[in-house]
Amino acid sequence: MNSTRLGQPLMTFAVLVGVVVLWEILPTALDVPRFIIPTFSQTLAEFQRMWMQEGLLAHVGSTALYTALGFVIGSALGAVIGYLLGLSIFWEKVLSPYILALQIAPKVAFAPLFIMWFGFNAIPKLLVTVLIVFFPVLVNVLQSMKTVDRDTINLARAYSLSRAQIFRKVEFPSTLPALLAGLRIASTLAVIGVTVGELVGGNRGLGFLISYGSGQANAAMVFNAIILLTLIGIALYSAVVWAEERLLHYIPKAHS
């Protein structure tokens, strides 16, 4: 057991080292131009230049901030509306066609529209992020509300629990795993939303650096921005997993 636990992270690290070595060797060996695939050392050198000359920290901070804001706002709206619709079969049936239509519509297509409405500032990328995050949480919560054990609800009513008490003591705990699963999905999509907003019309952030770097044929800048976006996404996803482990500690885990 201990050898397996130790061997897995070592193997993961070995794979990372192998990828870095190949990244450093192959572009030069295959005579691939720097503006197509830079080597690892060239990418690191560009990272240092971006840090010193391009205000990289401010760009990272802007993207991380609006990723977190969009995730929190979109998740909160999705959860609240999902629970409200789950409590009312009538309104769920009335609004479900419109929810389905918005869910199917490509969210990234709203970015130019938001820019037309609000201009070249942070609002469009925040709205795109909220829109992308909103639906996975809404759908998970709404679907889980439909699968709550009716016998348990009837038992709660037999004990004269109010509607609010039934929700707090029966429905919400029952749907919490689905809510957190939706938050996991939303945490990965939040980075996409912010990046799309910055690519289309931003003047700050890692998405802006991707757009700027591609226009300058600076692939190393693009690589660095993508790596940093990935790290932001991993950090947000890890925060959701951390919260999930503490909120759902009573659920037994499968052991391999």
* pLDDT higher than 70, residue 131: yes
Identify the CATH number of the domain in which residue 218 sits: 1.10.3720.10
The answer to whether residue 186 sits within a structural domain is: yes
Q: What's the Cα-to-Cα distance from 51 to each of 24, 56, 60, 160, 225, rounded to whole Å?
A: 21, 5, 10, 63, 12
The answer to whether residue 98 sits within a structural domain is: yes
Rounded-to-integer distance, Cα 70 and Cα 125, Å: 9
The structural domain count of the chain equals 1
The answer to whether residue 163 sits within a structural domain is: yes
The answer to whether residue 20 sits within a structural domain is: no
Rounded-to-integer distance, Cα 7 and Cα 10, Å: 5
The pTM assigned to this predicted structure is: 0.86
The answer to whether residue 127 sits within a structural domain is: yes
Note the pLDDT tens digit of each residue in 170-211. 888 888 999 999 999 999 999 999 999 888 877 889 999 999
Rounded-to-integer distance, Cα 177 and Cα 245, Å: 10
Task: Count other Cβ atoms within 10 Å, centred on residue 58.
Answer: 11
The answer to whether residue 18 sits within a structural domain is: no
3-state secondary structure at position 6: helix
The answer to whether residue 215 sits within a structural domain is: yes
Note the pLDDT tens digit of each residue in 20-52. 999 889 888 888 888 888 999 999 999 999 999
Q: Note down the domain range covering 179.
A: 38-247
The answer to whether residue 27 sits within a structural domain is: no
* pLDDT band, very low/low/confident/very high, at 225 (cuts 50, 70, 90): very high
